[in-house]
Amino acid sequence: MHVLVLNCGSSSLKFQIIATDVQAIKNNSDRCLVKGEVERIGSQSLINYEVPGRPIVKKTDPIANHQAAIELVLRWVISQKSGIEQINSYADIHAVGHRVVHGGEQFSHSILIDQQVIEGIEGCVELAPLHNPANIKGIKIATKLLGSAVPQVAVFDTAFHATMPEHAYLYGLPYEYYRRHKIRRYGFHGTSHRYIAYQYRAITGLSKSSTDIISLHLGNGCSACAIKDGLSIDTSMGFTPLEGLLMGTRSGDVDASILEYLHLQEGMDFNDLDKMLNKRSGLLGISGLTSDMRELLEEESEKQDRRAKLAIDIFCRRVKRYIGKYFVEMDGEVDAIVFTGGIGENSAEIRHRICAGLQCLGLQLDNDKNQQMVNEHDGKISTVDSAFHAYVIPTNEELMIARDTVRAIDKKGH
Ligand code: ADP
């Protein structure tokens, strides 16, 4: 089965086509046929396509909206010039899996999309006003282009965290706001953390019920997740993805009273404050240079930039703080911390700085293995006699979405 995976952002589109089915999932033999991205939809867009074994194709084109973007991508995919032998017409796309950011309290699993599900996702728009409308657009456009007979499945970023207990998801706010407005912690990056738990089991041979890890997704967005018995029991993102770790441009945890103070001192309104917290803070805000960790590490080592160093330091300490917090929440029964995401997978230096000092919890980092991961990208980076371990596991949310799509269709007997 060829599954088109769509991740529609507010002005971007990421996509993959993955050849998979129930048997391929069992054998771990699913294959990515193409992946790509359209950035800056609504203006001069940047498009790139990657077909395994062929050179990456990069283009710029004015693309007005998501429909034009999806049409353009699919036209290219089915054309001869893409070189994808298996896909020659829309009929060669058998199912669509959508990343949907917010499933609220309603969706705790991936689900085959019908009118009721669309209404449910629309019901969560207020919780994710930038993301869910783009996700709904993606679903409607796919129906229009591929026909309603092609099954589509929604895979929610929040779903994996549905197992969080009340004490982890409630804020210390008056309970009535939870009752009236569902103000609580939902958590995000769930598909990534679930993939990490799954892949950790595949590597170690452990069963789901004995998977006790702290998953650290460190990319532009960052979150930590405490996974006990294979289930999420706590995560660092909250009502929105703003809470928790320091990120590329998001502040992570702050004292909410700062907002009123800034409103009074600087005349900033809610819109300004929201932009400041989500777009101008984090690594970018502290360094005053960039949100890109690789560039910050270069600034620090080549120019000894003080604020670049400070931003990296705060970033690493915040991750450590969450490791400590989850260690306690899991009663010290942690088998491993797992690094993933662009920073977690690629930066031996950041992994080293985060692990420094964790000897007090029994972690012994194997420095050679940590460095080797630059080339190997997968596996254990702690010593054999470490009391608990550290791993690097590359995330693959798209694969998880494609597999969930196959499973949801299979379950409904399509
Ligand atoms: P997104 O969250 O948008 O998917 P990624 O997971 O791709 O982003 O992570 C992007 C981040 O990873 C950027 O800060 C980038 O600098 C960082 N990164 C990628 N490669 C390296 C590297 N070799 N060293 C340090 N940081 C890296």
Report which of 286, 289, 339 is spatially closest to residue 315, judged by C-alpha positions. 286
What's the 299 CA to ligand 1 centre distance in angstroms? 15
Helix and strand counts by DSSP (H, E) for the chain: 16, 14
Same fold, 2-156 and 204-392: yes
Cβ 319 vs Cβ 354: under 8 Å: yes
Q: Over the stretch 301-327, which tens digit does the pLDDT of each residue have? A: 999 999 999 999 999 999 999 999 999
Percent of the chain scored above 70 by pLDDT? 98
Q: If you write DSSP's letter for every residue of 194-257 in order, what string do you get?
A: HHHHHHHHHHH---GGG--EEEEEESSSEEEEEEETTEEEEES--SSTTSSS--SS---S--TH
Amino acid identity, position 296: L
Task: Return d(Cα 380, Cα 391) in angstroms, integer.
Answer: 4
CA atoms within 13 A on the CB side of 385: 0
Q: Tens digits of per-residue pLDDT, 324-363?
A: 999 999 999 999 999 999 999 999 999 999 999 999 999 9
User: 312, 347, 370: which to mutate for ligand 1, most atoms within 8 A of CB?
Assistant: 347
Checking if the pLDDT of 70 tops 60, the result is: yes
**What are the sequence ranges of the domains in the chain?**
2-156, 204-392
CA distance 56 to 413: 37
Contacts 24+ apart (CB under 8 A), 122-128: 127/102, 127/182, 127/186, 127/239, 128/101, 128/102, 128/240
306-329 and 348-355 helices, crossing angle to 10°: 60
State how far the Cα of 354 lies from the Cα of 245, in Å rounded to an integer. 13
Instruction: Report the pocket of ligand 1 as residue ranges, CB < 6 Å.
Output: 219-221, 248, 292-294, 297, 341-343, 346-347
**Distances from the Cα of 329 to the Cα of 184, 222, 246, 409, angstroms:** 19, 20, 21, 37
* Ligand 1 atom having least distance to the Cα of 374: 23
What class has domain 204-392?
alpha beta
CA 92–ligand 1 middle distance (angstroms): 33
Whole-Å CA distances, 242 to 61, 216, 223, 255 = 32, 16, 10, 12
- pLDDT tens figures, 8-18: 988 899 999 99
For helices 293-303 and 306-329, angle between their N-to-C axes, nearest 10 degrees: 130
Catalytic residues: 157
Using the structure block, give the residue that is written with the tokens 């009391």.
387
CATH topology of domain 2-156: Nucleotidyltransferase; domain 5 (3.30.420)
Tens of pLDDT, residues 388-404? 999 999 999 999 999 99
CA 394 to centroid of ligand 1, rounded, Å? 12
Where is 363: in which H helix or E strand? none
For residue 129, the model assigns a pLDDT of 85
Length of the chain: 414
